[in-house]
């Protein structure tokens, strides 16, 4: 009997000793103790998107979208393992002191593998971007790192939000996401399927919205037909928080809380983040459910607790508190921030040569902002290093640093009694007296985030458009007008229209929300201590003009796979201080049906600087009418090359990448002719324009399609 089956057996035996009332009491997120059975209280609610969140001190990594920009499965797995290590250390201390509060358990409601299909979505920065293949690979890596490979789970991961969920935030409690079977299986489900089948994720969280008429947390199609029956999921399902009450209050698919609770548990939702399941016993009395429903859910939940070793102990019980924010973990977080930053433009201004610069002006609302480092769902850091502080530390006594906030993120004045744009003159003055300007603009969680989340003062959390706030646009224009070399450093979690900056700034660095010490990583890049190497996991559009309405879940003209016009910056794009180019690619052996494809790629760094870069492989089906409009990512590999170095790398392309999804949602092999595009950016026209590099083309011919 494997460990999972053994834990199921133990859970079944333990639950059999409980009264009906005791079993029902365990099905909400704040499960009370059952002292007569030696069961301590347990709070299931915890978060770990980019570090242990909301429970005090923890190492702060870049927000998930920044981790995605690294394009490195093994590195993300290491990050997740580190997060689990700290989670265990904190849990060990909390349980020692009988502290069973929220955010102190080992069930982390991460990762978020929803598709970032629309740049307006406020929670997009919690995801791994817009591509289902990238999201799947990174989601699996994060889960494996978080859960570990031992007999006992190091922590329990949760793939969320299942499924077809990506805004609008202000409609999520009542919204019905209508999606075709093709888009469902081609775009919205692959990451979840990989998390379940390959990642063996312990938990899945349902979404707030309805999908094709069914509330996701009570969807027989999603939770029973697909998740359990088709994919063989054997963990537990948790609702999004207070989502079940939406059934009767907003979706209007039930009439009473009892009916909502009955629908959810019957469909297969085991744990209620909320309080609707407190009415399960009433639902039972009304004949809406049976005791077996309650028993089944309790057994699934206690299986997870046994798998975590919460009753019998494990090797992880000895992890000391000293690992929390230790030197090694902090260094890993800084390295993640370095790897995640995406260089969007560089006319030669970067890296900054300290021997040739006397004064640097650091300007902007995000220059000295701790909040802009954090993203959302963050822990507390013992030290923060803002962009300003990072530059000051790196410049030392050699270079004078001048600073001006310039403006607030959104408000038109920094002091309530002042005139509007009260810091603009100071910012201009700083620019005039500087040799180079680093202009730090962007957003933070008060502008983009979850609906009514902590710190979100905009309300819905979604963006209304792709533009920087007006006060920041004015600041950008005024600083550019001074005429000094200007580097735009953008701290944000989503695509922003940078057309003006692309035309007028000398350099642009997308730093995301880089974590607590992100300012050091940014300074390391600006001054050339490390080469930038991140790649965009999302498309940067020039405007919203050609995008479908936010509420339209069709993929037409969305993301790099279906876009019909040139983007401002394409998916997969990012510059370095080196000059890496793919010089060739060959098949290593003949293609065989249902076997991964082996290719060998030759890569050279023609530049004078050592750098990391990301080899990317895109596939185009040349025959099938069901193929995506453009190309699809099917492989990636982060590499390191010294100046002038040339290497060969082996890559595996999943055979599944050759298949398409038809109108019935079936994944089929429907073509004999494919083209692989291999390079360090996308295969699109805009990527070639920006990088001045053509991808290597490798035709694939099959003789096995139906």
Q: Model confidence over 545-601: pLDDT tens digits?
A: 999 999 999 999 999 999 999 999 999 999 999 999 999 999 999 999 999 999 999
Q: State the pLDDT confidence band at 705, using cuts at 50, 70 and 90.
A: low
Q: pLDDT (tens digit, 9 = 90+) per residue, 496-505?
A: 999 999 999 9
Helix (H, G, I), strand (E, B) or coil at 441: strand
The Cβ of residue 327 has, within 10 Å, a number of other Cβ atoms equal to 7
Rounded to whole angstroms, what are the CA distances from 392 to 340, 407, 438, 503, 520? 21, 20, 12, 28, 10
Q: pLDDT (tens digit, 9 = 90+) per residue, 301-353?
A: 999 999 999 999 999 999 999 999 999 999 999 999 999 999 999 999 999 99
Enter the tokens of residue 335.
């390295």
Q: State the pLDDT confidence band at 2, using cuts at 50, 70 and 90.
A: confident
Rounded to whole angstroms, what are the CA distances from 294 to 277, 281, 312? 10, 9, 24
Looking at the predicted structure, is the pLDDT value of residue 701 above 90?
Answer: yes
DSSP code per residue over 265-316: HHHT--BBSSSGGGGHHHHHHTTSS-HHHHHHHHHHHHHHHHHTTTTT--GG
Q: pLDDT (tens digit, 9 = 90+) per residue, 628-647?
A: 999 999 999 999 999 999 99
Enter the tokens of residue 202.
């312990």
d(C-alpha 23, C-alpha 25), whole Å: 5
Instruction: Using the structure block, give the residue that is written with the tokens 């950016």.
Output: 681
Looking at the predicted structure, is the pLDDT value of residue 453 above 70?
Answer: no
Q: pLDDT (tens digit, 9 = 90+) per residue, 236-272?
A: 999 999 999 999 999 999 999 999 999 999 999 999 9
φ/ψ of residue 77, rounded to 5 = -60, -40
What is the pLDDT, as a whole number, of residue 398?
A: 86
d(C-alpha 583, C-alpha 604), whole Å: 7
Looking at the predicted structure, is the pLDDT value of residue 458 above 60?
Answer: no
Q: Which H helix or E strand runs over 545?
A: none
Non-local (6+) Cβ contacts of 393 within 8 A are 385, 520, 523
Enter the tokens of residue 235.
């963990």
d(C-alpha 535, C-alpha 342), whole Å: 6
Looking at the predicted structure, is the pLDDT value of residue 688 above 60?
Answer: yes
What is the pLDDT, as a whole number, of residue 530?
A: 98
Minimal CA–CA distance to 71: which of 26, 131, 148? Answer: 131
What is the pLDDT, as a whole number, of residue 81?
A: 98
Helix (H, G, I), strand (E, B) or coil at 183: helix
d(C-alpha 204, C-alpha 195), whole Å: 9
Radius of gyration of the chain (CA): 26
Rounded to whole angstroms, what are the CA distances from 98 to 104, 507, 518, 616? 11, 52, 35, 49
Minimal CA–CA distance to 217: which of 257, 273, 258, 168? Answer: 273
Strand partners of residue 253:
none
Going through 216-274 in order, the beta strands assigned E by DSSP cover: 236-238
Going through 106-188 in order, the beta strands assigned E by DSSP cover: 158-162, 176-177
Strand partners of residue 667:
661
Q: Is 262 exposed, middle or buried (0-12, 13-18, 19+ CB in 10 A)?
A: buried
Q: Rounded mean pLDDT of the chain? A: 96
d(C-alpha 108, C-alpha 529), whole Å: 35
Residues annotated as catalytic are 240
Q: Is 608 exposed, middle or buried (0-12, 13-18, 19+ CB in 10 A)?
A: exposed
Distance of CA 358 to the CA centre of its chain: 39
Looking at the predicted structure, is the pLDDT value of residue 456 above 70?
Answer: no
The number of residues making up the chain comes to: 706
The Cβ of residue 215 has, within 10 Å, a number of other Cβ atoms equal to 30
Strand partners of residue 417:
none
Contact 301, 271 (CB under 8 A): yes
- C-alpha torsion sign, points 445, 558, 658, 626: positive
CA atoms within 13 A on the CB side of 316: 28
d(C-alpha 564, C-alpha 686), whole Å: 12
The Cβ of residue 111 has, within 10 Å, a number of other Cβ atoms equal to 32
What is the pLDDT, as a whole number, of residue 703?
A: 79
φ/ψ of residue 25, rounded to 5 = -65, -20
Task: State the virtual CA torsion across 622, 624, 628, 632 in degrees, nearest 10.
Answer: -50
- CATH of the domain spanning 341-527, picked from 3.40.50.1700, 3.10.129.10, 3.20.20.450, 3.20.20.70: 3.40.50.1700
- Percent with pLDDT over 70 in the chain: 98
Q: Distance between terminal CA atoms of the chain?
A: 41
CATH homologous superfamily, domain 580-701: Immunoglobulins (2.60.40.10)
Rounded to whole angstroms, what are the CA distances from 387 to 349, 362, 406, 491, 519? 18, 9, 15, 10, 4
Helix (H, G, I), strand (E, B) or coil at 320: coil
Which segments of 148-189 does DSSP mark as H helices, in order? Answer: 181-183
What is the pLDDT, as a whole number, of residue 63?
A: 98
> Is the preceding peptide bond at 168 cis, omega within 30 degrees of 0?
yes
Contact 166, 541 (CB under 8 A): no
Q: pLDDT (tens digit, 9 = 90+) per residue, 39-89?
A: 999 999 999 999 999 999 999 999 999 999 999 999 999 999 999 999 999
Looking at the predicted structure, is the pLDDT value of residue 400 above 60?
Answer: yes
Q: pLDDT (tens digit, 9 = 90+) per residue, 77-120?
A: 999 999 999 999 999 999 999 999 999 999 999 999 999 999 99
Contact 217, 251 (CB under 8 A): no
Q: Report the pLDDT averaged over residues 16-21.
A: 98
What is the pLDDT, as a whole number, of residue 455?
A: 47
Boundaries of every domain in the chain: 3-322, 341-527, 580-701
Contact 39, 13 (CB under 8 A): no
Instruction: Using the structure block, give the residue that is written with the tokens 């224009």.
Output: 477
Looking at the predicted structure, is the pLDDT value of residue 388 above 60?
Answer: yes
CATH homologous superfamily, domain 3-322: Glycoside hydrolase, family 3, N-terminal domain (3.20.20.300)
d(C-alpha 521, C-alpha 61), whole Å: 11
What is the pLDDT, as a whole number, of residue 371?
A: 97
Enter the tokens of residue 171.
């409609």
Contact 192, 113 (CB under 8 A): yes
């Amino acid at each position: 009997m494997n460990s999972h089956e053994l834990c199921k057996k133990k859970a079944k035996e333990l639950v059999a000793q409980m009264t009906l009332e005791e079993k029902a009491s365990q099905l909400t997120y704040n499960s009370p103790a059952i002292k007569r059975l030696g069961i301590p209280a347990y709070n299931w609610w915890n978060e770990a998107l980019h570090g242990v969140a909301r429970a005090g001190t923890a190492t702060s990594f870049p927000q998930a979208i920044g981790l995605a920009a690294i394009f490195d499965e093994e590195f993300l797995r290491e990050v997740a393992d580190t997060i689990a290590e700290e989670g265990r250390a904190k849990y060990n201390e909390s349980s020692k002191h009988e502290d069973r509060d929220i955010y102190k358990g080992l069930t982390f409601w991460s990762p978020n593998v929803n598709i970032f299909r629309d740049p307006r979505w406020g929670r997009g920065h919690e995801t791994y971007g817009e591509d289902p293949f990238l999201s799947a690979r990174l989601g699996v890596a994060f889960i494996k790192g978080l859960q570990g490979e031992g007999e006992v789970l190091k922590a329990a991961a949760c793939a969320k939000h299942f499924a077809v969920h990506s805004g609008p935030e202000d409609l999520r409690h009542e919204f019905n996401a209508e999606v075709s079977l093709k888009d469902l299986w081609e775009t919205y489900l692959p990451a979840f399927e990989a998390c379940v089948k390959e990642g063996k994720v312990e938990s899945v969280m349902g979404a707030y919205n309805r999908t094709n008429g069914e509330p996701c947390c009570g969807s027989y199609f999603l939770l029973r037909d697909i998740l359990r029956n088709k994919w063989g999921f054997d963990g537990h399902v948790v609702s999004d928080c207070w989502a079940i009450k939406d059934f009767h209050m907003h979706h209007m698919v039930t009439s009473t809380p009892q009916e909502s609770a009955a629908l959810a548990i019957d469909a297969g939702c085991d744990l209620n983040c909320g309080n609707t399941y407190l009415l399960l016993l009433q639902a039972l009395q009304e004949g809406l459910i049976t005791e077996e429903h309650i028993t089944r859910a309790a057994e699934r939940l206690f299986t997870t607790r046994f798998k975590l070793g919460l009753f019998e102990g494990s090797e992880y019980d000895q992890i000391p508190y000293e690992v929390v924010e230790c030197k090694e973990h902090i260094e890993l977080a800084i390295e993640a921030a370095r790897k995640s930053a995406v260089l969007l433009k560089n006319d030669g201004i970067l890296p900054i040569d300290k021997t040739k610069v006397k004064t640097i002006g650091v300007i902007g609302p995000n220059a000295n902002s701790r909040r802009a480092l954090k993203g959302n769902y963050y822990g507390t850091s013992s030290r923060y290093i803002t962009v300003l502080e990072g530059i000051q530390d790196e410049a030392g006594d050699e270079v004078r640093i001048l600073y001006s906030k310039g403006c607030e993120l959104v408000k038109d004045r920094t002091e309530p009694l002042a005139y509007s744009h009260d810091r603009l003159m100071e910012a201009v003055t700083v620019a005039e007296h500087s040799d180079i300007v680093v202009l730090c603009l962007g957003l933070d969680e008060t502008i983009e985030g979850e609906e009514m989340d902590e710190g979100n003062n905009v309300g819905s959390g979604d963006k209304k458009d792709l533009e920087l706030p007006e006060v920041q646009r004015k600041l950008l224009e005024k600083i550019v007008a001074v005429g000094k070399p200007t580097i735009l450093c953008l701290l944000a979690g989503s695509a922003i229209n940078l057309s003006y900056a692309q035309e007028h700034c000398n350099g642009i660095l997308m730093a995301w929300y880089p974590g607590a010490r992100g300012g050091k990583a940014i300074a390391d890049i600006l001054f050339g201590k490390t080469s930038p190497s991140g790649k965009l996991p999302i498309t940067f559009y020039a405007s919203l003009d050609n995008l479908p309405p936010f509420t339209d879940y069709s993929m037409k003209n969305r993301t790099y796979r279906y876009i019909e016009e040139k983007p401002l910056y394409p998916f997969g794009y990012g510059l370095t201080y080196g000059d890496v180019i793919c010089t060739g690619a060959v098949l290593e052996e003949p293609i065989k049906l249902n076997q991964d494809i082996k290719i060998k790629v030759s890569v050279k760094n023609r530049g004078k600087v050592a750098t990391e870069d990301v080899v990317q492989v895109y596939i185009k089906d040349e025959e099938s009418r069901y193929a995506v409009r453009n190309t699809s990512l099917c492989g990636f590999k982060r590499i390191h090359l010294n100046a002038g170095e040339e290497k060969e790398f082996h890559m595996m392309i999943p055979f599944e990448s050759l298949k398409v999804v038809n109108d019935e949602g079936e994944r089929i092999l429907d073509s004999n002719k494919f083209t692989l595009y291999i390079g360090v950016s996308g295969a699109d026209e805009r990527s070639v324009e920006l990088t001045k590099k053509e991808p290597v083309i490798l035709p694939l011919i099959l003789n096995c399609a139906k």
